[in-house]
């Protein structure tokens, strides 16, 4: 199941591999600094209807705004 979807669409405890970051250079560099680069494995810890998406990347928890999470494309694992 090699579905490529926005990170925002993953449910808690689902994992994915970052495939692409859809944004400008500032957006990309900000996410690279957090460890969200193509090839990184991401696990969703919390995805509630309101508020940020909580993810874990390389053992670090990150809170991403919903708009940012919608522009991170991942391949579901």
Q: Read out DSSP for the chain?
A: ---EEEGGGPPTT-EEEEEEE-S-HHHHHHHHHTT--TT-EEEEEEE-SSSPEEEEETTEEEEE-HHHHHTEEEEE-
Count the neighbouring beta carbons within 10 Å of the beta carbon of residue 54. Answer: 17
Instruction: Return d(Cα 77, Cα 63) in angstroms, integer.
Output: 21
Beta bridge partner(s), residue 36:
none
Q: From 2.30.30.90, 2.30.30.100, 3.40.50.300, 3.10.20.740, which CATH number describes the 4-76 domain?
A: 2.30.30.90
- pLDDT, tens digit (0-9, with 9 covering 90-100), for 11-54: 999 999 999 999 999 999 999 999 999 999 999 999 988 899 99
| Per-residue pLDDT at 1 | 57
- pLDDT, tens digit (0-9, with 9 covering 90-100), for 49-76: 889 999 999 999 999 999 999 999 999 9
């Amino acid at each position: 199941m090699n579905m490529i979807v926005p990170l925002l669409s993953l449910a808690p405890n689902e994992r994915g591999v970052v495939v692409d970051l859809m944004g400008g250079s500032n957006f990309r560099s900000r996410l690279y600094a957090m460890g969200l680069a193509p090839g990184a494995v991401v696990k969703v810890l919390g995805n509630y209807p309101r508020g940020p998406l909580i993810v874990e990347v390389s053992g670090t928890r990150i809170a991403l705004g919903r708009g940012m999470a919608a522009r991170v494309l991942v391949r579901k694992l």
